[in-house]
Amino acid sequence: MTTRIVRVGNTLTVEIPEELAEQAELAPGEPVEWVANGSGSIALVKQSSSDAKARKRMTLEELLEGIPEGAEMEKIEWGPDRGAEIW
């Protein structure tokens, strides 16, 4: 199946024919990755659902789950104030 590379603004875009997108189960907005194979060819790789979950934006509560209550972080001395910082 032949397709084209088109310029959209400053980006080169590859048109994926609808039939091919259906066969590959690709939907608009779905995350994919271009992979160069080193011989002048590239492959479009669909990210697995586990990859998508790994990149899910976490809430503050999820980020803080592993920190014990009352825990304090080490204080770091950054040197004397410079500029107009207010502490």
Question: 43: which residues sit within 8 A by CB, 6+ positions away?
Answer: 34, 35, 37
* Number of structural domains the chain divides into: 1
Contact predicate 35/45, CB 8 Å: yes
Residue 42 in any domain: the answer is yes
Residue 12 in any domain: the answer is yes
Higher pLDDT, 8 or 73: 8
Q: pTM score, two decimals? A: 0.46
Q: What is the pLDDT of residues 19-65, one digit of tens each?
A: 988 998 888 888 888 888 878 888 888 887 655 555 677 889 888 88
Residue 64 in any domain: the answer is no
Q: In which domain, by residue range, is 33 found?
A: 5-59
Residue 75 in any domain: the answer is no
Res 7 pLDDT > 90: yes
pLDDT band at 8 (very low <50, low <70, confident <90, very high): very high
Residue 28 in any domain: the answer is yes
Residue 77 in any domain: the answer is no
Residue 26 in any domain: the answer is yes
CA–CA separation, 8 and 20 (whole Å): 21
